Structure formats: C-alpha cells, structure tokens
C-alpha cells in the first residue's frame, strides 16, 4: 500500500498536481495542496502561470491576499468539490485528493535511487549539486535508503541555479541528525542564506503581517534546513517514517477562537515535520480567551518548522482548540490550517522564539 | 487521433519516444525510442540521463556499432512489443513502434505551443522567453500560431536554459516552404545563422567526412534556413505533413528489397524533402555501383529517414544516393524503384557509414 507521505507529489485524475501536506490522513483522503492546476480546467486569479508538462499551469499559491485565495478555493470547490474534505472532527475543512482520484504517485525514495545510479559525469550541475548534498547527509550517518527527492528535482522540470533542490529525510531521528550535522558542517560547497536573503524571502512570501521582518530574520537565520549547495538553494524536508506517523484523525477538535500566547518550549522533537508541534509549559494566554493551559502549538505551515528550541520562550498566535483524544483532553494552538489563508486569522498567525 | 512526426509519446513502460513518421501501421505508431529506462536493459556506451525520476539511456545511433547492436538486441528482447516487422515488405526492415495500448501520454507540439504562448512573459524563464521571441518572429511570416508547434525538451519541460535546442514544428509542407522563403528574406537582431565553423563541427560528427567533400557539404548546409541561433540558442525548424499532404500512405504500397546500390539522378521535386521520412523525386537515374541486380533499374525516388538530408538538394541539382534499393508496388499494380537511406537496421552494420545522399560535386 502506498505511503502517501508529506512533500511527495501526486497527480489527480483531473491532471492537477498536488503536494502532500501530511504523512497521516483521514481514511480515503490525502491531505494535500494543489501545486499546479491546468489553466484549461479552472479560471483562477492572482496566480503565476508556468509552462509545465507541455501545458499552461497555474502555480497555486496560498500565500496570497485572502480574497484571492478565497476566490480560487471557491472555484475549486465549485467544480471539484471532492478536493475539499469537510472534517466533522475538526469542524474545519482541508484540501487534498481522495485516494480514488489519484492518478499517479511520484515515488521520492525510488527517484533518488535512480538518480544515484546515473554516473556523475552524465549529470548537469544541478543534479551534481543534489548528489553532493546527498553525500553530505551521508556524512551525518543517514543512509540513502532513508532519503528521497521531490518536486522539480524528482520530475526533472528544474531550472539550474533557480530551482530548489528538495531532499526528503525519512525518520525524525534522521532529520535531527541532519540538522545537527549541518550546524557544524564546514563543507565549502555549503552556504547558508544570509540575513539579507532571509529578509527577501520574507518579502516574497509574507507569512504573517504581525511578524516583523527583523523578528523573522532572527528566527530563520539559525535554521539549517534551507541553504545553498554549490549555488543552488536546497530545502530539507523531514518526513516521519510510516511507523512514526502520529497525527490522530479520530480526535475531536473544538475551535475556540484566535489567541495569542507565550510559553516555554518543553519539547521540540516534532517541530521538524509537518504537521509538527512544540510541546509547551508555563503557557499564558495574552489575548483572545480566558486562561487555560496550552499543551502544544501545532504547525501546518513549513515556515514555522524548527522555529524554536527546547527551553526557549515563544510567542504564538493561532487557533485555540480543545482536543478530546484517546490521550485525554487538552488545549492546543494551531497555526496554518487551510482556512487561515482565507480568513483574518491567517494574517495574525505566527510563531516566534523570543530571542535576539 | 493523428500522430504527427516529431510528437512525443511516453509509454506505460516508461519510454520516451519520438514519433518518426506521419503514416503509421494499424494499432501502432512508428517511433524512435529516445529515452529508455535502465531497469530492464542498459548500456554504458549510451549517455545516461535522469528524466522523470528515472535513470534513462538516451539512444544514440552513432555509438560504437558492436555496442549499439548489442543494445538493440537487448531492446528487442526486453521490449518485443516495440519492435515491428511490416508485412508490407518481403524482408521487413527494423521499425520501432509504440502499440497504441502502451501509450501513457501523447504530447502535442501544437497544443504545447498554444499553451506556452498564452503565458505572460513575466512568468517565463529565459529559455521559454527565447522560444516565444522566436515564435513571434516566425509569426511575422504568413503563418499562424496553429501552424506551429514546439517539441522535444521544450515541450516536455526538461530543457536546460542556454544549452537545450529549440525545436519548432511547422504543420504542412507548403507552410514550411513559405516560412523558409520568409527566413531567407527577413532578418531579426536576435537571429543568426550557423557559421561555416559550426557546420564544420556538425560535419565532423555523424561520419559525414567519409562520404562528403567538406567544403561542398558545408556550402550545402549553409544555405539551409531551418537551423540557426536565436538569442544564441540553437533552433531547428521541422516540417510535418498534414494528413492530406502525405507523399505516401502506409498500406497502399508493398516493398521488395532488391539490393544495395549507389545511384545518381536529377532532382525533379524536393517538396517532400522537408519531412521524415523525406523524399526526393528524381529523373535520369544512373547506376554508379553496388549489387549488379540493381544495374538496369530506373530509380524515381530517394527516400530518407534522417533529417540530416532534409532540403539538401533543389530541383535540377544532381544528387548521389547510396542505400537499399526497393521495388515498390502501388495499389494499382504499377511499380517503381527507390533508394532508401536510414532504416534503423542500417545503423547496425557497415551501411551506417556507406549510406548517404549528397549533391554531386563535379
């Protein structure tokens, strides 16, 4: 049975390409975001167009004005209602693909194994850089069997020097091994985004209007899951192994409104995956709800991965939920649900370590 | 659905195939395998590419002949459905085909270009901007967008900016010749033609030095207006026949192999020399050498499968052709003789270096 893991791609029967957003899914439905939508399928607005797979495609983007996102999602919902999952347990909706609408799954692990078989001299500079990055991750003790490639690196529609090299690391422990190794790695092929580059990235993909550029840069500049390898941007995606996948789709979520909190991070182990979370202690609600203890901050948005370390104080704004699960009842704050991109909450959501 | 030459087909077995003609046998499409997955067969003598998430061999018919022969033997065993021997021939040459049920996706050059031209320029990368710029220039001729297409890596999306060629398809031989007339008379600041040196580099590849006098070869190629550089990116313009323009219909003729020979003749008509398979209609043929059985035959057509021979010769010019001599029986029983250059099988033996079409130098 196919493991539909986070950061893999699937094509739907309607030729929409989706990027999977989670490694655990409700029964029969894969949580995913449309990535490329053929322009002859839908009339969408405010999106860049790309020429891919011999077709004109919209590059679907949630980081847009909420009115635009709302309009585009409305168009999808009207023509393809089956790409929206109304979740009673969350009292919310998710984007994705019903399993029976999947036409093709792009195997990220198999793709890497194929790439590794190609003699280096037959590779272009972009793929040579990919191989070099795989080698660096090997130095961290991660076997190639626990690695994959995705997106344009896998499909071959990359532009050398412009496209990201997207590498997947399977297993949370392996993800941390990679991060720790890169924190001290002195390989001359490896460069990190300067503070200026992070500032530009922030401008291009504004994640929260209440999160200043300065704060963003301070938080991001220490991350080691994005950088440059031989001049190409690389991004590392840590993926839970199938046995590690732990999101509980049977839990009941009761949305209680937008809150702003402060807390101390007790455990950041799962902050390396999507959806990920930070386990908290000493939480305080600053705005939006009466005081309740917040057990964790859950992030569905990649920009908030690896945002804070253990024992650091954080500040976050997101949707407060009361969760009833097999583990009991608790409160959590969630950042980056799909609905956030169509509501005022999206502009307010953030998570920052109180550092610098 | 009609499968035009130079379209791309991906198959359920993961092959990327280039459609190799405009006429096809029932249930099959004539192709050349372009990229072949390496899970069933592979050859270190062929270049490797990482395409569509797979390690592929890129088929090159000009590698060491023993290695090529071995690879084609392996291919025949690994992909028997992709090899075809036609009952229209008494001894069929080797054809590669895609059985229609094996098609995963057919990529249309026309639809691809139509989509590309609809994209705002700001959303295009440098390669695609160059393609669009070239197409806009071509549209200054009497051609319309629906007369054009793009193919190969630009269509498939695995091009490398500044490195990959731009391959333009023109639908219709008449349209293509009109475009060539336009290209001869018009210029563009971003357009330049291949220099003598660049044609010389091309000449040195593909064993052309064996049969052609270099200066003449380069002179002949230099007059072509189907290849050049636009914003320093190599472009090649191909003609593909419309269905009603086909110079032969698959199934309407039968072929008998007579022998191997070399003939000369005067080009009467080169209209179909712009397509693949291409054809020169000739007159006054003269046997120059080869199998004696061919000695007294009058050749009326020279047929080729390699695009290198497109637009090589013009009416009233004399050409020399070396290849397989075939007797062709038409539907009404009438017969004629032709010389064929470039069947796949010829790359597997000494004919690879001995088959050619050239303008007569003297």
User: Residue A199: pLDDT band by 50, 70, 90 thresholds?
Assistant: confident
Question: Which residues on neighbouring strands pair with residue B226, listed in sequence order?
Answer: none
* Cβ contact A162–B125 (<8 Å): yes
Whether the pLDDT of residue A207 is over 80: the answer is no
Q: Which residues of A touch B44 (CB under 8 A)?
A: 119
The topology (CATH level 3) of A246-353 is OB fold (Dihydrolipoamide Acetyltransferase, E2P) (2.40.50)
| Nearest CB neighbour to B55, from listed A55, A114, A124 | A114
Ramachandran region, residue A216 (left: φ > 0; alpha: ψ -120 to 50; beta: rest) = alpha
- What does the buried/exposed string (b/e) look like for A191-203 if buried means 16 or more CB atoms within 10 Å of the residue's CB? eebeeebbbebbe
Whether the pLDDT of residue A38 is over 60: the answer is yes
Q: Is A45 on the interface with B (CB under 8 A)?
A: no
Question: Which residues on neighbouring strands pair with residue A335, listed in sequence order?
Answer: A299
What are the structure tokens assigned to B104, written together?
Answer: 């995963």
pLDDT at A77: 95
Burial class (CB in 10 A: 0-12, 13-18, 19+), A120: exposed
If contacts are CB pairs under 8 Å, which of residues 84-143 in chain B contact chain A? 107-108, 111-112, 115-116, 118-120, 123-125, 128
Q: Please name each of the domains of chain B with its CATH number.
A: 8-106 (no CATH), 109-240 (no CATH), 247-359 (2.40.50)
Q: Which residues of A touch B55 (CB under 8 A)?
A: 114-115, 117-118
- Whole-angstrom distance, CA of residue A301 vs CA of residue A164: 18
| Nearest CB neighbour to A54, from listed B44, B51, B155 | B155
Closest to A168 (Cα-Cα) out of B263, B114, B53: B53
B277: cis peptide before it, omega within 30°?
yes
What are the structure tokens assigned to A287, written together?
Answer: 């705005």
User: Residue A135: pLDDT band by 50, 70, 90 thresholds?
Assistant: very high
* Cβ contact B53–A110 (<8 Å): yes
- Whole-angstrom distance, CA of residue B78 vs CA of residue B41: 7
A41-56 pLDDT, tens digit each:
999 999 999 999 899 9
- Whole-angstrom distance, CA of residue B345 vs CA of residue B69: 9
Question: Which residues on neighbouring strands pair with residue B273, listed in sequence order?
Answer: none
* Cβ contact A154–B53 (<8 Å): yes
pLDDT higher at A348 or B197: A348
Q: Is B164 on the interface with A (CB under 8 A)?
A: no
pLDDT at A1: 86
pLDDT at B209: 55
User: Residue A203: pLDDT band by 50, 70, 90 thresholds?
Assistant: confident
* Cβ contact B157–A48 (<8 Å): no
Angle separating helix axes A108-117 and A125-139, nearest 10 degrees: 110
Per-residue pLDDT of chain B (362 residues; tens, 9 = 90+): 889 999 999 999 999 999 999 999 999 999 999 999 999 999 999 999 999 999 999 999 999 999 999 999 999 999 999 999 999 999 999 999 999 999 999 999 999 999 999 999 999 999 999 999 999 999 999 899 999 999 999 999 999 888 899 999 999 999 999 999 999 998 899 999 888 788 777 767 665 555 667 777 777 777 788 999 999 999 999 999 998 999 999 999 999 999 999 999 999 999 999 999 999 999 999 999 999 999 999 999 999 999 889 999 999 999 999 999 999 999 999 999 999 999 999 999 988 889 999 999 76
If contacts are CB pairs under 8 Å, which of residues 97-156 in chain A contact chain B? 106-107, 110-111, 114-115, 117-119, 122-124, 127, 154-156
- Whole-angstrom distance, CA of residue A255 vs CA of residue A271: 22
* Cβ contact B38–A54 (<8 Å): no
Q: Nearest-CA distance from B237 to chain A in Å?
A: 18
Cβ count within 10 A of residue A44: 21
What are the structure tokens assigned to A283, written together?
Answer: 């939480």
A215-240 pLDDT, tens digit each:
778 888 888 998 999 999 999 999 99
Run of H or E including A131? helix A125-139
User: Residue A195: pLDDT band by 50, 70, 90 thresholds?
Assistant: confident
What are the structure tokens assigned to A108, written together?
Answer: 């990220």
A134: cis peptide before it, omega within 30°?
no
pLDDT at B207: 59
Give backbone dihedrals phi and psi of A137, rounded to 5 degrees, phi first: -70, -30
- Whole-angstrom distance, CA of residue B319 vs CA of residue A127: 46
Checking A133-139 for CB contacts under 8 A at 24+ apart, the result is A133/A165, A133/A167, A133/A229, A133/A234, A134/A167, A136/A181, A136/A182, A136/A185, A136/A187, A136/A189, A136/A190, A136/A229, A137/A167, A137/A169, A137/A178, A137/A181, A139/A181, A139/A185
| Nearest CB neighbour to A55, from listed B54, B115, B160 | B115
Sequence-distant (6+) residues with CB within 8 A of A196 are none
If contacts are CB pairs under 8 Å, which of residues 48-107 in chain A contact chain B? 48-56, 106-107
Q: Check: CB of residue A75 under 8 Å from CB of residue A44.
A: yes
* Cβ contact B111–A54 (<8 Å): yes
- Whole-angstrom distance, CA of residue A127 vs CA of residue A133: 10
* Cβ contact B119–A49 (<8 Å): yes
| Nearest CB neighbour to A115, from listed B50, B158, B161 | B50
Run of H or E including B303? strand B299-304
Q: Where are the domains of chain A?
A: 9-105, 108-239, 246-353
Closest to B175 (Cα-Cα) out of B228, B239, B115, B269: B239
Q: Check: CB of residue B88 under 8 Å from CB of residue B28.
A: no
Which of A66-70, A96-100, A343-347 ranks highest by mean pLDDT?
Answer: A96-100
pLDDT at B196: 79
């Amino acid at each position: 049975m196919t493991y539909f893991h986070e950061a893999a791609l699937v094509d739907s029967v309607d030729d929409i390409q989706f990027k999977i957003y989670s490694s655990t899914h409700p029964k029969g439905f894969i949580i995913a975001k449309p990535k490329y939508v053929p322009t002859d399928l839908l009339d969408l607005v405010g999106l860049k167009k790309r020429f891919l797979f011999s077709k004109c495609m919209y590059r679907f983007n949630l980081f847009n004005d909420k009115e635009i996102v709302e309009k585009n999602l409305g168009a999808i919902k009207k023509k393809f209602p089956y790409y929206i999952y109304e979740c009673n347990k969350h009292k919310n909706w998710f984007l994705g693909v019903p399993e029976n609408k999947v036409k093709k799954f792009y195997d990220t692990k198999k793709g890497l194994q194929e790439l590794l078989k190609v003699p280096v001299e037959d590779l272009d500079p972009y793929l040579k850089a990919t191989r070099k990055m795989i080698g660096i991750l090997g130095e961290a003790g991660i076997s190639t069997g626990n690695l994959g490639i995705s997106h344009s690196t896998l499909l071959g529609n990359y532009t050398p020097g412009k496209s990201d090299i997207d590498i997947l690391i399977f297993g949370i422990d392996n993800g941390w091994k990679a991060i720790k190794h890169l924190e001290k790695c002195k390989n001359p092929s490896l460069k990190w985004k300067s503070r200026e580059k992070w500032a530009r990235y922030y401008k291009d993909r504004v994640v929260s209007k209440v999160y200043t550029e300065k704060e963003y840069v301070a938080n991001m500049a220490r991350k080691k899951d994005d950088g440059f390898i031989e001049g190409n941007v690389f991004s590392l995606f840590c993926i839970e192994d199938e046995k590690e996948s732990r999101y509980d789709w049977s839990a009941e979520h009761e949305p209680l409104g937008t809150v702003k909190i402060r807390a101390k991070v007790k455990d950041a182990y799962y902050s390396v995956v999507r959806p990920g979370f930070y386990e908290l202690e000493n939480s305080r609600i600053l705005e939006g709800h009466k005081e309740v203890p917040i057990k964790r901050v859950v992030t569905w948005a990649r920009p908030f991965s690896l945002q804070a370390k253990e024992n650091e104080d954080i500040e976050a704004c997101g949707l407060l939920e009361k969760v009833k699960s097999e583990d009991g009842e608790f409160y959590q704050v969630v950042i980056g649900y799909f609905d956030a991109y169509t509501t005022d909450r999206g502009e307010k959501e953030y998570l920052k370590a109180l550092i610098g | 659905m009609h499968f035009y030459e130079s379209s791309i087909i991906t198959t359920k077995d993961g092959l990327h195939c280039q459609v190799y003609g405009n006429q096809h046998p029932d249930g099959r499409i004539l192709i050349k395998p372009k990229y072949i997955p390496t899970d069933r067969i592979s050859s270190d003598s062929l270049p490797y590419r990482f395409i569509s998430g797979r390690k592929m061999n890129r088929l090159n018919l000009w590698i060491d002949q023993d290695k090529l022969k071995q690879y084609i033997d392996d291919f025949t065993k690994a992909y028997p459905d992709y090899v075809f021997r036609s009952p229209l021939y008494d001894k069929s040459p080797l054809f590669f085909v895609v059985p229609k049920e094996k098609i995963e996706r057919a990529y249309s050059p026309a639809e691809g270009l139509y989509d590309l031209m609809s994209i705002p320029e700001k959303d295009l990368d440098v390669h695609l901007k160059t393609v669009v710029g070239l197409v806009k220039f071509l549209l200054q001729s009497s051609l319309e967008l629906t007369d054009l297409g793009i193919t190969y890596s630009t269509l498939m999306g695995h091009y490398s900016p500044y490195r990959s060629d731009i391959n333009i398809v023109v639908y219709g031989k008449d349209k293509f010749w009109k475009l060539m007339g336009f290209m001869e008379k018009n210029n563009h600041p971003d357009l330049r033609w291949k220099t003598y040196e660049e044609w010389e580099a091309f000449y040195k590849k593909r064993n052309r030095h064996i049969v052609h006098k270099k200066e003449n070869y380069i002179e002949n190629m230099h007059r072509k207006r189907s290849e050049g550089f636009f914003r320093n990116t190599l472009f090649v313009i191909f003609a593909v026949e419309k269905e009603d323009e086909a110079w032969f219909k698959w199934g309407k003729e039968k072929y008998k192999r007579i022998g191997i020979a070399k003939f000369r003749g005067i080009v009467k008509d080169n209209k179909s020399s712009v397509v693949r398979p291409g054809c020169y209609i000739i007159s006054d043929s003269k046997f120059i050498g080869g199998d004696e059985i061919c000695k007294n035959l009058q050749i009326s057509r020279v047929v080729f499968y390699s695009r290198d021979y497109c637009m090589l010769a013009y009416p009233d010019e004399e050409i020399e052709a070396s290849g397989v001599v075939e007797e062709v029986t038409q539907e009404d029983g009438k017969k004629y003789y032709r010389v064929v250059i470039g069947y796949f099988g010829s790359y597997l033996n000494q004919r690879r270096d001995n088959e050619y079409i050239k303008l007569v130098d003297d």
